[in-house]
C-alpha cells in the first residue's frame, strides 16, 4: 500500500499487486490507505483517494445500507459484513463492487480501523442486468425449478399466467394440481403429467401442449419445453421451463378443421345428386357416342371429388372422436387379395406389378371395411409413387398376438427428414410436389387413425430412389 513506509513485507507486496481493491478505512469512514487496484477501480490517484470518505464515493441509493452495517460493526453487533453496492467513479459512472469489511481492534478490544476489500463486479453485473432484461422481455413464461422441486425464479409473464390454472394461489412447488387439462379439454392432468413435475423428475421435452383454466370460454393453450440445468461438474441444479401461449394457433386450427368439416358436409349432398343424374344420363340410350364419352369424363371426375369429400369427412370424424369400429371376425387373406386385385387395373396401366404373399387364411377381429381402407390407401400410394415399371408387394403374416401387413414398393422413396411427417394431415412430400404427383395429403393420416383406433402400430422404412415399406401391425382383436 502506498502511504506506508517501504517494506519488504510480502503482505504489502501482495496488496500492491492484488487485482482486488483494498483500503484501510478510519472509524469516521475516511480512506487512510488504498492499493493501486482500488485507485484504478474508482478513477482517482492514490493521494486523491486517501483524502475522501467512503460516504462520498458510494452511490446515494446504497449509502444507507452501508452506513447501517458500518455502525452495527462499530457498535460490536457484528465483526464484519459483506455487501454488493455501487460506487461512483471519478468520471461519474457507476462501478459495481462486492465489498467485504472487517473491523480491526486493538489489544484492549478498542476499534482501530476497518479493512475493506472490493471486487469489481461491473462486467458481471452488466451481464446479469442484460440477462434479467431478456428474462423479463420475452413473451414466453420462464420458470426455474430447484433440484428439490421448489420454484426458484419466474418471470412476470409466467407469474401472470399462473392465475388461470391456480386461482387460489400456488405453493411454489412442482406438481401442484390445478385447472390443467389434456388436449381433449376434458381430462384433468394428474400430478405425474404436470410439466413442472415431469421436469423435476429429470425429463426433457418440447412442445408439450395442454389447456389451462377452468372455464372453457377463457382457457388458454400452452406449449411447454423443459431442459435440465447442470452445474460445472454436471451436478443437477434443477430444471428450466419455457411456456408459450399458443391459444390463437389452437383456435385457428379449430376454425380450419370446422371449416373443412362443414364444407365437406355441404358438398356431399349435391355431389350425390350429380352422380345420380350422371348415371341416368350415361344409361340413356339416346346419347351420341361422343356425348357419352364426355359424360364418362365428368363422372370420373365427380367420383374423384366424392372420394376427396369422403376422405375429408373421415378426417373430421377422427377429430371429433367419432371413429367407431365395427369389430367382426374377418379373413385378412381375403381382404388383402381383394384389395390387391382392385388396385391391379390402375397398376397395370403404369406397368406396375402387384404381388401378394399370404397364408391361406388369417383370421382376426377387426373392422374389415376400415382395414380395407388402410390397404387401399397404402396400395394406391405404392402404385402412385412407383411411377412406371416397378413392383409392389403385399405380405401378410401372423405373429402370436398380432397380424402384420407390409406394403412395399420400388418407387421414389421418402427422404429421412420427412419420414416422421408423412402421417401428418395435409402433408405432401417433396418428391410428390417436385414430380407433380396429385394428392391431398390425407391418405396416410386416415391410415394412421384407423390403425391407432385398432390399437395397432404403423411404421415406415424408406430409401430415396429405392422404395418404401409401410408396416401395419394389428392386434388379433378384442374377444
Ligand atoms: P398424398 O399421397 O395424397 O400426398 P398421403 O397422406 O397418402 O397423401 O401421403 C403423404 C405423403 O407421403 C405423400 O405426399 C408422399 O410424399 C409420401 N408418400 C406416401 N406414400 C408413399 C410411397 N409409397 N412412396 C413414396 N412417398 C410416399
In 3D, which of 198, 208, 207 has the Cα closest to residue 228? 198
Q: Which residues 6+ apart lie within 8 Å of 53 measured at CB?
A: 28, 29, 30, 31
For residues 168-177, give the mean pLDDT. 95
3-state secondary structure of 149: coil
For residues 330-339, give the mean pLDDT. 97
Ligand 1 atom nearest to CA at 428:
14
Report the pLDDT value the prediction gives residue 478, as an integer from 0 to 100.
Answer: 67
Yes or no: say if 44 and 64 are a contact pair by the CB < 8 Å rule: no
Q: Which residues 6+ apart lie within 8 Å of 126 measured at CB?
A: none
Distance 381 CA to ligand 1 centre (A): 6
For residues 86-101, give the mean pLDDT. 97
Residue nearest to atom 19 of ligand 1 (CA): 381
Report the pLDDT value the prediction gives residue 388, as an integer from 0 to 100.
Answer: 86
CA distance 15 to 99: 16
Share of the chain above pLDDT 90, in %: 82
For residue 383 the three cell numbers come to 402404385
DSSP one-letter string for 27-82: TTSBEEEE-HHHHHHHT--HHHHTTSBHHHHB-HHHHHHHHHHHHHHHTTS-SEEE
Domains of the chain: 4-125 (3.30.450.20), 138-245 (3.30.450.20), 252-319 (1.10.287.130), 328-475 (3.30.565.10)
For residues 300-329, give the mean pLDDT. 86
User: Which protein residues are within 6 Å of ligand 1, measured from CB?
Assistant: 381-382, 385, 409, 411-414, 422, 427-429, 431-432, 439-445, 468
For residues 118-146, give the mean pLDDT. 95
What pTM, to 2 d.p., does this model score? Answer: 0.64
Residue in 376, 381, 469 to alter for ligand 1 test, most ligand atoms within 8 A of Cβ? 381
Report the pLDDT value the prediction gives residue 21, as an integer from 0 to 100.
Answer: 97
For residue 261 the three cell numbers come to 368439416
Exposed / middle / buried, residue 339 (Cβ in 10 Å: 0-12, 13-18, 19+): buried
CA distance 455 to 453: 5
Distance 134 CA to ligand 1 centre (A): 43
Distance 402 CA to ligand 1 centre (A): 26
Ligand 1 atom nearest to CA at 409:
23
Ligand 1 atom nearest to CA at 445:
6
CA neighbours within 13 Å on the CB side: how many for 340? 23
Ligand 1 atom nearest to CA at 423:
6
For residues 448-466, give the mean pLDDT. 95
pLDDT confidence band for 265 (50 / 70 / 90): confident
Distance 281 CA to ligand 1 centre (A): 35
3-state secondary structure of 375: helix
Amino acid at each position: 500500500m502506498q502511504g506506508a513506509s517501504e517494506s519488504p513485507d510480502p503482505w504489502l507486496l501482495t496488496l500492491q499487486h492484488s487485482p482486488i481493491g483494498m483500503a484501510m478505512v478510519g472509524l469516521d469512514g475516511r480512506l487512510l490507505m488504498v492499493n493501486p487496484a482500488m485507485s484504478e477501480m474508482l478513477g482517482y490517484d492514490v493521494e486523491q483517494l486517501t483524502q475522501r470518505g467512503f460516504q462520498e464515493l458510494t452511490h446515494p441509493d446504497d449509502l444507507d445500507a452501508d452506513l447501517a452495517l458500518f455502525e452495527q460493526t462499530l457498535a460490536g453487533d457484528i465483526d464484519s459484513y459483506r455487501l454488493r453496492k455501487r460506487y461512483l467513479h471519478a468520471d461519474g459512472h457507476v462501478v459495481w463492487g462486492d465489498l467485504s469489511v472487517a473491523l480491526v481492534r486493538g489489544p484492549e478490544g478498542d476499534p482501530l480501523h476497518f479493512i475493506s476489500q472490493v471486487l469489481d463486479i461491473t462486467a458481471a453485473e452488466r451481464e446479469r442486468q442484460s440477462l434479467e432484461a431478456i428474462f423479463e422481455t420475452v413473451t414466453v413464461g420462464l420458470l426455474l425449478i430447484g433440484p428439490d422441486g421448489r420454484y426458484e425464479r419466474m418471470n412476470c409473464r409466467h407469474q401472470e399466467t399462473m392465475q388461470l390454472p391456480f386461482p387460489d394461489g400456488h405453493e411454489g412447488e412442482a406438481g401442484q394440481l390445478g385447472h390443467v387439462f389434456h388436449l381433449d379439454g376434458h381430462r384433468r392432468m394428474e400430478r405425474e403429467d404436470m410439466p413442472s413435475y415431469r421436469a423435476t423428475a429429470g425429463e426433457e421435452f418440447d412442445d408439450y401442449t395442454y389447456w389451462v383454466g377452468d372455464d372453457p370460454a377463457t382457457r388458454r393453450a400452452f406449449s411447454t419445453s423443459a431442459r435440465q440445468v447442470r452445474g460445472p461438474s454436471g451436478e443437477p441444479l434443477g430444471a428450466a421451463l419455457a411456456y408459450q401461449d399458443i391459444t390463437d394457433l389452437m383456435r385457428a386450427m379449430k376454425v380450419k378443421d370446422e371449416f373443412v368439416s362443414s364444407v365437406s358436409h355441404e358438398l356431399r349432398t349435391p355431389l350425390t345428386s350429380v352422380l345420380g343424374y350422371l348415371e341416368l344420363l350415361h344409361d340413356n340410350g339416346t346419347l351420341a357416342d361422343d356425348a357419352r364419352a364426355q359424360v364418362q369424363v365428368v363422372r370420373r371426375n365427380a367420383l374423384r371429388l366424392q372420394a376427396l369429400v369422403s376422405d375429408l369427412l373421415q378426417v373430421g370424424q377422427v377429430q371429433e372422436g367419432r371413429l367407431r369400429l365395427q369389430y367382426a371376425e374377418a379373413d385378412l387373406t381375403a381382404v388383402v387379395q381383394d384389395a390387391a386385385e382392385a388396385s391391379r387395373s390402375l397398376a397395370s396401366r403404369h406397368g406396375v406389378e402387384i404381388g401378394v404373399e399370404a397364408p391361406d387364411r388369417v383370421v382376426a377381429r377387426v373392422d374389415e371395411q376400415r382395414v380395407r381402407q388402410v390397404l387401399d390407401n397404402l396400395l394406391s400410394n405404392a402404385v402412385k409413387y412407383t411411377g412406371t415399371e416397378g413392383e409392389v408387394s403385399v405380405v401378410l403374416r401372423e405373429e402370436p398376438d398380432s397380424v402384420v401387413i407390409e406394403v412395399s414398393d420400388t418407387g421414389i422413396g421418402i427422404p429421412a427428414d420427412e419420414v416422421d411427417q408423412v402421417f401428418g394431415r395435409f402433408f405432401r412430400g417433396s418428391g410428390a410436389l417436385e414430380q407433380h404427383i396429385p394428392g391431398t395429403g390425407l391418405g396416410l393420416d386416415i391410415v394412421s387413425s384407423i390403425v391407432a383406433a385398432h390399437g395397432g402400430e404403423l411404421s415406415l422404412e424408406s430409401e430415396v430412389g429405392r422404395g418404401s415399406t409401410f408396416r401395419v401391425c394389428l392386434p388379433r382383436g378384442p374377444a
